[in-house]
Amino acid sequence: MTSNLTAPSDEGTRLKALGLAVIDTEAGAVTGLRERIDDRFAQACRHLLACRGRVVVSGMGKSGHIGGKIAATLASTGTPAFFVHPGEASHGDLGMITSQDVVLALSNSGETDELVNILPLIKRLGVPLITMTGNPRSSLAQAADVNLDVSVAREACPLGLAPTSSTTAALVMGDALAVALLEARGFTAEDFARSHPGGSLGRRLLLHVGDLMHRDERVPRVQGDVTLREALVEMSRQGLGMTAVVDDDRRVIGIFTDGDLRRALDRGIDVRTVRVDAVMIARPVTVPAALLAAEALALMESRKINALLVTDADGRLVGALNMHDLLRARVV
């Protein structure tokens, strides 16, 4: 039996053609923005770079939704910004705007009543006004210090009514502003991570080995003259699948792992009599506590090892880290 959700082939072809037409129309709208990255765009960037307060973004309806996203993108890329609803602005929220701020207003028509009504108050504050409109002769565009033209030839909606191409164009122009400012400020991946501490990038760029490593009495360690049996007891006690081998000054001279144990048993070594320094890996890979956890992961993967010893500048043991620690921290 044919499912009701299975469209006839001719209807499916028509639906795909409609979808492609939308993409083509919106792609054309975005391409049309290239010629508008001009002196006005550079002037808008200069206003935003000179802002000593915050960028206050405002817009109604679909323009408001796009404005909210632009504000979020600016804020996460080094330009402090927030969104103010223009309808609420005339009922008290205008107090959020200070003389140190810059206002970025979005309106395709450029005649949105809620924005036009607060123009005198914005002007009275003396803050720079940047607008994104589809009509450079509109009230908003004429009142702006800089108007960015985001007009489109037509909406992707076949009725020419639903904001589609116009909102895409405004969104892309907002991204262009944010990224241009990001580059101009010298904003780095580490800066981005600081505003995204809960994301995977934040974890990869902010976590250091010292944040994850086992410390103090939780670090398995033995001296080189103990028997292999005693080293195994220490490994079992700490449960990290290895133990550091240190000298009298706690400097690392080797490491002994589960894998080394299997290889030793294959050779018929007597764990009760053989010293650990006879079967350990001498001069093992060590890392400082300040190393990024992501770099520690890359090192472990390249060396095909599952654990690292952490040492200070003098080679003394201060911690231990294994792959499970990185997995728990979601660095992997």
Domain coordinates of the chain in residue numbers?
A: 19-187, 209-328
- Predicted local distance difference test score (pLDDT) of residue 1: 47
Question: What is the identity of the amino acid at 136?
Answer: P
- Predicted local distance difference test score (pLDDT) of residue 199: 53
At which residue do the structure tokens 């970025």 appear? 104
Count, residues in the chain: 332
Give the homologous superfamily in CATH for domain 19-187.
Glucose-6-phosphate isomerase like protein; domain 1 (3.40.50.10490)
In CATH terms, is domain 209-328 a member of 3.10.580.10? yes
- Predicted local distance difference test score (pLDDT) of residue 76: 82
From first to last of its 332 residues, the chain has per-residue pLDDT tens of 455 555 567 888 888 998 999 999 999 999 999 999 999 999 999 999 999 999 999 999 999 999 999 999 998 888 889 999 998 877 667 778 888 999 999 999 999 999 999 898 888 889 999 999 999 999 999 999 999 999 999 998 877 768 899 999 999 999 999 999 988 887 655 555 555 455 555 555 667 899 889 998 899 999 999 999 999 999 988 888 899 999 999 999 999 998 888 888 888 888 889 999 999 999 999 999 998 888 888 898 999 888 899 999 999 999 999 888 888 877 76
Q: Which of 313, 308, 316, 315 is nearest to 292 (CA)?
A: 308
Q: Which of 286, 289, 290, 292 is nearest to 307 (CA)?
A: 286
Say how far apart CA 208 and CA 329 lie, in whole Å: 11
Long-range contacts, 231-239 (Cβ 8 Å, 24+)? 231/256, 231/276, 232/261, 232/271, 235/261, 238/214
pLDDT 10s digits, 239-256 = 888 999 999 999 999 999
- Predicted local distance difference test score (pLDDT) of residue 201: 52
CB 67 within 8 A of CB 21: no
pLDDT 10s digits, 100-138 = 999 999 999 999 999 999 898 888 889 999 999 999 999
- Predicted local distance difference test score (pLDDT) of residue 238: 86
- Predicted local distance difference test score (pLDDT) of residue 192: 58
Which residues have a Cβ under 8 Å from the Cβ of 127 and sit 6 or more positions away?
A: 97, 98, 99, 100, 101, 102, 103
The verdict on pTM exceeding 0.75 is no
- Predicted local distance difference test score (pLDDT) of residue 10: 83
